[in-house]
Structure 1
Amino acid sequence: MFVRCGTVDLASRLFVRIKEPTIFCWNSMLVGYVKTYGVDHGLELFDSMPERDVVSWNMMVSALSQSVRVREALDIWLWTCKAKVCALIQQHTLVHLGWGKQLHAQVIRNLPHIDPYVASALVELYAKCGCFKEAKGVFNSLHDRNNVAWTVLISGFLQYGCFTESVELFNQMRAELMTVDQFALATLISGCCSKMDLCLGRQLHSLCLKSGQIQAVVVSNSLISMYAKCDNLHSAESVFRFMNEKDIVSWTSMITAHSQVGNIAKAREFFDGMSTKNVITWNAMLGAYIQHGAEEDGLRMYKVMLSEKDARPDWVTYVTLFKGCADLGANKLGDQIIGRTVKVGLILDTSVANAVITMYSKYGRILEARKIFDFLKVKDIASWNAMITGYSQHGMGKQAIEIFDDILKRGAKPDYISYVAVLSGCSHSGLVQEGKSYFDMMKRVHNISPGLEHFSCMVDLLGRAGHLTEAKDLIDEMPMKPTAEVWGALLSACKIHGNNELAELAAKHVFELDSPDSGSYMLMAKIYADAGKSDDSAQIRKLMRDKGIKKNPGYSWMEVNNKVHVFKADDVSHPQVIAIRKKLDELMERIARLGYVRTDSPRSEIHHSEKLAVAFGLMSLPAWMPIHIMKNLRICGDCHTVIKLISSVTGREFVIRDAVRFHHFNGGSCSCGDYW
C-alpha cells in the first residue's frame, strides 16, 4: 500500500521489521526503490535478496533497459535466462546487431519453445536492422502468427523503403487472418503517406470504414497525415471532423497540413482550438510561421511558449528559432536564444549546434560559425555541410574546399548537399579546375548522380570564368531537362562577358519555361538596353506585362536596437527618411571627390534600398560596430561600387548579404574581389 502511494520511506521502515519477508514483499520494495531512488538503489536491493523469482529478474532487466544500461541488462538475462527477451529488444537500445543474435541464440538454447511475443520482438529487431532474411526466418517459424508479428514485419519493410513488399505482406495477412487490427492499418497508411500513393490510401480508408477501425485514433491520424501529404486537405478535414475522439496528434496533424500549403491563418485556427498543447504542437505552429516568412510572429509565439508549463522548448524549437533569426537578421535575439540553449544544456546537441553554425554564417559572422564548428565534439554530415555552405556563401572557396577535404580525410562520405555546397564555393571563387575535379569525383568515387543543383553550380562556375561554350555544352549533355535556374546562370554569365547572341538563346529557353521570376526578363532587357537595342528591351518588358510578371521589388533590412528596419528604393515610409537621404547625399558628395561619377540613372537607383540602409547604419550604430545589411535581390553594380567607396571614406566595415552571397566591404575593397 505504501509503495503504491509513493511513500517508499514508510514502506522501508515497515519492511525492515518483518523477520522473514516473502518474495512478494521483496518485489514490492524493488518496485518502490527503482521508481523512487533509481536503478542503482534497486540493484543494491536486488543483490541482497535471498531468493528471486521471474518477476524479480524481469523487473531488473526492464529497469536497466529503460535506463539505457543495455550491457548490464544483457548480462543479467544471459546468466538467468528467466526473463523474457521482449523488454530488452523493444527498447531499441542494442547498438550491435551481434548482441541481438546472441540473445536469439540464448532463446533457442534455453527455452523449450519461442513465446509468440518474444518472437515478435525478434522479428522487430531484425526488421529494424534491415535483416529481412532473418526477420522472415523467425516469422515463418511461428505456428501462431499474431497481429504484432505481422505489423512489425510490415513496418520494417516500410522503414527501408520496401513499399511493394509491405503491401504484399498486408494482403497475405488479410488472407490468413479474419481481422486486421488498427496498428497494421495505421502502419500501411503511413507507408502510403511516404509514397504519396493516394489511390491505395483511399482503398485503405474504405477498408477502415468497413472494418470499423476508422474510429481508432491512430488510424484516423494516419489518414489525416496521408491526405495532407497528398495535397487533399478536404479529405483530411473530413476525417478530422468525423473523429469521435481527437488527441494532440490529430490537432497537430491539421496544423501541419495547413502549414504545408501556406495557410497560416487556418493552421492558427486549429492551434487556438486546442484545449491541451504540448511542445510538438507549439513547434508545429512555430515552424509554420517561420517557414512561410512570418518570422516576427514566430518569435513572438516563442515568448508566449516560454510561459507555458507543459511546453518546455526542445531541440526542435531552437533549431526552428535559429532559422527564423537567420532569415530575419535578428542578430541580438539570436545571441540571446543561444544563451538560453547554453543554460538548458541543448547547445551540445549536434542539430542545435548545426543550426547555430548556419545562423552565424547567414549573419555574416563566419569566424564565430567556425568556432562553433570546431567546438562540436560529435559532428554529423549536416555539420560539415553547414560549414562548407557558410564558407561558400562568403566567397571563401578555398576554406570550403578545406572543410570538404577534411570529410574525406576522416573517412566520412560526402552526400548530395556536400557537393552542392563545395561546387557553389568553387563557383563564387572562380576555382574552375577544383570544381571540375569535384564534379567528376561525385560520380566516379561516391556514385552520386548529379542533380539540377550541381549542374546549375557548374554552369555558373564555367560561365563566370568565361568558358561560355563549355557551359552551353554541359547544359546540352544534361540527363534531365534544364530548368530556368540553369539557363538563368548561363544568361547571367553572358551578361558579364558580353555574349549577346548566346544570351538571347539562354533567355529564349527561360521564357519558354514560363518562369515566374522577373530576374531573367529584367537582365535580358538590360542587355538589350546596354547594346542600344531599345525596341528589343521594350519588347521584353511588354512580354512581362503580357505574362503578368511583375518586377520583384528590391528591399533591404537591418537590425538596430533590437528592431528590424526595412528599406525600399525611394522609400518615404521610414520615420527618419529625411535625415537618411540627407546623410546619403553627403556620402555621395564625399565619394565624388574620390572620382565616383554619378551615372544618368533614374532617381530610384540613386536611392536603392541598400544605399539607404548604409546611410541609416552610419547614423545609428557606433563607430566600432560592423554594419550588417540583408537584401532580397542581388546587389547592383552601382551600389557595389558606391559601398566600396563609402567604406573607404568612413573607415567602416559593411557586411551585405544579397540573394546569392555575402559581400564584406572594408577599406575600399570587397571580399568578392569584384568576382560576383
Structure 2
Amino acid sequence: MIVKLSWPPSSYLSHRFRLPLPFSLSILFRFVTYQQDPFSELRLCLDLSSQQSYMDLSQMFYEAMKSCAALRSIPVARRLHAQLIYSGLYTSVFLQNHLLNMYSNCDSIDDACRVFSEIGFPNVFTWNTMINGLGKHGRIGEAEKLFDEMPQRDSVSWTSMMSAYFSNGKSGHTVNLLASIVREMGDVPDRFSLTCAMKACGNLGYLKLAIQLHGLVEKCGFANGYSVDSSIIDMYIKCGAVESAERVFFRIPNPTLFCWNSMIYGYSKLSGVASSLVFFNQMPERDIVSWNTVISLLSQHGYGVLALDMFVEMWNQGFSPNSMTYASVLSACASLYDLDCGRHLHARILRTESCLDVYTGSGLIDMYAKCGILKSARWIFDNLMERNVVSWTSLIVGVAQFGSQEEALLLFNLMRKVPLAPDEFTIATVFGLSSKESYLGMQLHGYSVKTGIESSIPVGNALISMYARCGNVQNANIVFDSMPLRDIISWTAMITAFSQSGDVDKAREHFDEMRDRSIITWNSMLATYVQQGFWEEGLKMYIMMLRQGIKPDWITFATSLSACADSALLQLGKQIIAQAEKFGFGLDVSVANSAITVYSRCGQIHAAYKVFESINTKSLVSWNSMLSGYAQNGHARKVIETYESMINAGFAPDHISYMSVLMACSHAGLVQEGRHYFNCMKNDHGIYPRHEHFACMVDLLGRAGLLEEAKNVIVGMPYIPNAIVWGALLAACRNYGDTELAEFAVSKLQELDVQESGSYVLLSNMYSDSGKLEGVLNVRKIMREKGIQKNPGCSWIEVNNRVHVFSVNDTNHPQMDEVLKMLEFAISEMEETTNCIIDGALLDPASNVQVSYDSGLVSVLVEAQIS
C-alpha cells in the first residue's frame, strides 16, 4: 500500500517524527531529465508537492545529489543543500549521508565536515562516508580520529581506513591495519581489504610480506578470483618476484587483460623490454592499456624511437590514444629532445581532444621544458584547468635547467600555497636545486621533516646527494643511517659522498656491507678508486666485477681505461679495449675517447689516431683527447692541424682544447702561434683564460728566454696567480740562470704559503749551480722551519705484462746492479756524443748534499735491460 502525505509538513520539526514509508515505483522524471538541468525535476517536484509522497521526494533528492556528484559542481551542490533544508527533509540520515558523499565528490570536504557535525544520529554508513572523504582529500589525521571514535565498525570501515592510508602514501599503516583486523579484532578480512593490503605491499616492495599475504589469501579462500589473482600478480611484480607472479599467472585458466598487462611490466624488470615485447606479441587480445604499457616501458628504458614506432602501429590497428598514451609518447619525445615530433603531437591533441586533461597537459609541459621551450611550457601550465604534482614538478625541473634556480624555488613555494602537497619526487627534485648552498638544503630538509616524507627512499637519496654536493658528508651519513629503508641508490649515493670527500676506506666499507649491488654501484666504487689515484685497486675492482659475473657497461670500460691511461698500462688497456668490443661497446664514443687517451699516454699515437678516425659521431671530448695525445707526444704541428680541423667540423673549442694547443706551442717553442691562440681564446670564442692557460703562456715565453714578458703576463693577470703560474716562471729562471727573478718568484710563492717542495728545490739548485752555498743553506732552513720535505720521485714501467716500480734510492729491484751499470754507460756515451756534462743527479736541499739518480731514468733503462 502506498501512503500519500500532504507536503510540505505543517512544521519543520514535525518531520523528524514521521516514519519512513515505502517509496512509489513510479517516479516522474529520471536521471536523463536532470542530466541537462539537475534542478528541473526538483523544481517540478516542489511545485507538485501536494501530490508527492515522502519517499518519492526523498528518491528524487537522492537522484539529484547523485547527478550533482557526477557534475562535481560545488555551487550546484550548495543550492541543492539549501533546497533540501527548505523541503524539510534535511534530518533524514539517508539523505544526509548522500549529502556527505556529494560534497566529498565535489572536492568540498569542509562542507562535508559541517554536514557531518549536524547529523544527530550518524550510522555506520555516515562514519564510513566521512572517513573515505577525508582520506581522499589528504586529511589523514582527521580520518584516523574519526575511525578511533566510531562506536562500531563494519568491514567497510576497515577497508575505508586502509584505502585512506594507501591513497596518502602510508603503505606501512595500510598493512598494519590489516594485521589489526586479523590479530586484535579476530575478524577474517574480506577480499577488498586484502586487495588494498597487497597494493600497499607492492609499494613497499617487501617480498616476505607478499608471500605471507598470498598465504592469507589462500587461507581465507579468496584464491582463484580474478580481482584477487590480478592483485597477487601485481604485488609480486612490484616486489621483484617476477617468477612467483609468473607461476600465479599460468595457474589462471583465462587471465584477464589486467594480468597480461601486469606481466608485460614484470618481464621488463626481469629480463628487459625485449621480453616484454615477446609477451606482448603473445597476447590473444589487447586493449589500450596494453599498448600504453609497452609504449611507456619503451620510453622509460631509453627506446624513444621504438616508442614512437609503437604509437604509430597502435594507431594503424584502430586504437584511439587516450591521455595516458599521449603522456607516454610525449615522454619519448622529451627523452629524444625531438621538438618537431612533440609539436606534431600537440597539434594532433588540439585537433582531436576537446580540452587538455591533466595527464596530457603534464606530458606537454615536460616535453617543452626538456626541450628548453619554457615559454610554451609555462603557457600550457597556466591554461590547464587542473594541475597535478607531475605538472608542477615538470615545470620546476625545466625552469631549473634552462631558466634560473631562483625562479624554480619560487615555483616550489607557490606550489606549497595551493591545496596540492608536493610529493616525494617533487621534494627530491627541489633538493637538486640547492647546489652548494648548504643553508638552503637544510631548510628544504626541515620542510621534508615537517611534512613527514623525509623517510621516503627518493627523498633520503636526494638528501644524501645534496649534502654530498655541499661537502657535508657528515650530514649525508646521518641521513643515510636514519633511513628506515634503503635501496641500491641509497648505498651508491653514500659511496659517492665518501668518494667526493676523499674517504676511500669508508666508501669501500659501505660497498662491502651491501647485500645486492648493481652495475651502478660497481661503477661508483671503481670510479672512486680511479679518481683518488688508486689505479691498482680500481683495476682489481674491475677484475673482481668480471669474476662475479657482473656485465660491464660503457661507464665501466671508460673508467677502467682511464685507470690504464693514468698508470700507463698499455697491455692491460688493450685487453680492456678488446673486452669492450666483445661486449658491444667498441663503437661507444665515451669508450673510444678513453681508448685514445690510453694509447696516447703509452706513446702509441698512431693507434690513438686510428681509434679517433673510427668514431662515426665525434664529440668535443673526442677532439680534445686527440689534441691532448698529440701535445703529450710532442707533435705540435699535428695539434694545430687537428685544432683547425675541429673548427672546420663545426666544433667550438673549450678551455681543454686551448690547454693542449698552448702546451704544444710551449714544448715546440712556437712563440708567435702561442700568442695568437692565447688571444683567440677570449677574442674569438669568449673563453677567459684560467690559471693553467697563463702557466702555459709563462712557460712558453720562459722557454724562449723572454723572462720579462713572462713576468708581465703574470702581473697583468685579472686574478691572483697561483703556485703553478709562479712555478712556471721559476723553472724558466733556472734554465736561464736569472737568480734575482727566481727569488722574486719564490717570495710570491711564500706569500701563498705553498707547501710543495718543487719550487724550493729549483731555487736551491740554482744557488748550487751559481756556487752560492749560503743560498742553498738558507733554502734548507726555510724548508725545515715550514716542515716541507721533498717527496721522493717514483716511476714505473710495464715490461712483459709486469709493472716495475722505482723510487729514489730504491735498491730493492733484483736487477738493480745491472740497471745502474747500464745507466752509467748511457750517461758516459751521451756525454761523449754531446760534449757536455749530463746531470743525472738531483740535489736534495732538505737533506745532506748527495747524488741520487732520477727514478725516471732508471725505469726507462729497465725495459732495455730486461728485454
Q: Which of 313, 334, 348 in structure 2 is aligned with 1:106?
A: 348
Percentage of identical aligned residues = 43
> How far apart, in 1, do the equivalents of 2:258 and 2:697 lie?
73
Aligned mate of 1:579, from 806, 815, 818: 818
1:535-567 C-alpha deviation (Å, 9 max, x unpaired): 122212211111111112112211123221111
Q: Please state how far the C-alpha of 1:576 moved relative to its aligned partner.
A: 2.5
- TM-score, structure 2 normalization: 0.65
- How far apart in 2 are the matches of 1:136 and 1:247? 35
Query: Displacement of 1:27 after TM fit?
Result: 9.2
- Asked if structure 1 preserves the Cα contact closer than 8 Å seen for 2:304 and 2:335, the reply is no
Retained in 2: the 8 A contact 1:567–1:612?
yes
3-state secondary structure, aligned to 2:678:
helix
2:733·2:739 contact (CA, 8 Å) conserved in 1? yes
128-137 or 609-618, larger mean C-alpha shift: 609-618
1:670 counterpart residue number: none
**Hey, what does 2:865 align to over in structure 1?**
619
RMSD: 3.3
- The counterpart of 2:657, out of the listed 414, 418, 436, is 418
TM-score (norm 1): 0.82
Using a 3 Å threshold, how does the CA distance of structure 1 residues 6 and 507 change in structure 2: closer, same or farther? same
1:72 aligned onto 2:313:
no
Residues 619 and 23 of structure 1: is their aligned pair in 2 closer, same or farther, counting only changes over 3 Å? closer
Q: Distance in 2 between matches of 1:335 and 1:24?
A: 50
- 1:88 is aligned, of 324, 329, 340, to 329
**Counterparts of 1:67 and 1:417 in 2: how far apart (Å)?**
33
The match for 1:539 is 778
User: Aligned partners of 2:257 and 2:430: how far apart in 1?
Assistant: 45
Look up the match of 2:388: 146
**Which whole-Å CA distance do the structure 1 matches of 2:839 and 2:282 have between them?**
85
Cα distance, 1:461–1:590 mapped onto 2, change above 3 Å: closer
Distance 2:571 2:267 in 1: 47
Q: Could you tell me which of 459, 473, 476 is aligned with 1:219?
A: 459
The structural deviation recorded for 1:392 is 0.9
**What's the counterpart of residue 495 of structure 2?**
255
Letter in 2 for 1:619: Q
- How many Å separate the matches in 1 of 2:692 and 2:511? 36
Aligned to 1:653: none
Tell me, yes or no, if the aligned pair for 1:68 and 1:93 is still in contact at 8 Å: no
- The match for 2:479 among 236, 239, 250 is 239
Match of 2:305, SS state, is coil
In 1, distance between residues paired with 2:619 and 2:492?
A: 29
Does residue 205 of structure 1 match 2:442?
no
Give the alignment partner of residue 855 of structure 2, picking from 609, 613, 624. Answer: 609
Partner of 1:128: 370
Give yes or no for contact 1:256–1:284 (8 Å, CA) kept in 2.
yes
Is 1:453 aligned to residue 692 of structure 2? yes
Instruction: Assess if the C-alpha contact under 8 Å between 1:322 and 1:334 holds in 2.
Output: yes
Cα contact 1:554–1:609 (8 A) shared by 2: yes
Q: 1:592 to 1:150 in 2, by over 3 A?
A: closer
**Higher RCO (Cα < 8 Å, 6 or more apart):** 1
SS in 1 for 2:685: coil
3-state SS of paired residue (1:564): strand
**Count of aligned positions:** 607
- 2:426 counterpart of 1:165: no
Aligned twin of 1:270: 510
8 Å contact kept, 1:116–1:144: yes
Q: Over residues 564-614 of structure 1, what are the superposed CA-to-partner deviations in whole Å (9 max), with x where a residue is unaligned?
A: 111122222223323333443444555565456577967964532133223
Distance verdict in 2 for CA 1:28–1:163, change over 3 Å:
closer
Counterpart among 514, 521, 531 of residue 281 in structure 1: 521
Distance in 1 separating the partners of 2:403 and 2:744: 42
Asked whether the equivalents of residues 127 and 153 of structure 1 are also in contact (C-alpha less than 8 Å), the reply is yes
Deviation at 1:114, TM superposition (A): 0.9
> Could you say if the C-alpha distance between residues 544 and 155 of structure 1 is closer, same or farther in structure 2, counting changes exceeding 3 Å?
same
Aligned to 2:531: 291
Q: Following TM superposition, by how much is the alpha carbon of 1:202 offset from its aligned partner in structure 2, in angstroms?
A: 0.6
Q: Indicate if the aligned counterparts of 2:529 and 2:537 stay in contact, CA closer than 8 A.
A: yes
2:803 is paired with a residue whose SS is strand
Asked if structure 1 preserves the Cα contact closer than 8 Å seen for 2:372 and 2:402, the reply is yes
Q: Encode CA deviations 1:453-506: one digit per residue, 9 max, x unaligned.
A: 222221211221222222222222211111111111112122222333222222
User: What letter matches 2:670 in structure 1?
Assistant: L
2:674 maps to which residue? 435
In structure 2, the CA distance between the partners of 1:82 and 1:213, relative to structure 1 (3 Å rule), is same
Residues 44-55 of structure 1 mapped to structure 2, 5 A cutoff: 54-55=288-289
Partner SS for 2:798: strand
Asked if residue 518 in structure 1 is aligned to residue 518 in structure 2, the reply is no
Deviations 1:404-423 (A, max 9, x none): 10011112211221111211
1:399 maps onto 2:641 in alignment: no
Q: Is the 8 A contact 1:73 1:88 kept in 2?
A: no
1:478 and 2:717 matched: yes
| Residues 81/133 of structure 1: CA separation in 2 closer, same or farther (3 Å cut) | farther
Q: Shift of residue 93 of structure 1?
A: 4.0
2:604 to 365, 382, 396: 365
Q: Distance in 2 between matches of 1:25 and 1:500?
A: 84
Q: Tell me if structure 2 keeps the 8 A contact 1:78–1:106.
A: no
Q: Could you tell me how far 1:111 is from its partner in structure 2? A: 0.8
**Mapping 1:178-197, distance limit 5 Å:** 179-192=421-434, 195-197=435-437
Asked which structure has the greater CA Rg, the reply is 2
TM superposition shift of 1:105: 2.0
* CA distance 1:181–1:548, change in 2 (3 Å): same
| One-letter code aligned to 2:373 | C
2:35 paired residue number: none
Alpha-carbon separation, structure 2, partners of 1:29 and 1:208: 35
Q: Distance in 2 between matches of 1:174 and 1:31?
A: 34
Q: Unpaired runs of 5+ in structure 1?
A: 16-21, 622-676
For residues 582 and 411 of structure 1, do their structure 2 counterparts lie closer, same or farther at Cα, with a shift above 3 Å needed? closer
Structure 1 contact 484–515 (Cα < 8 Å) conserved: yes
Cα separation, 1, equivalents of 2:293 and 2:515: 37
Displacement of 1:397 after TM fit?
A: 1.1
**Offset, 1:308:** 2.2
Q: Distance in 1 between matches of 2:480 and 2:266?
A: 42
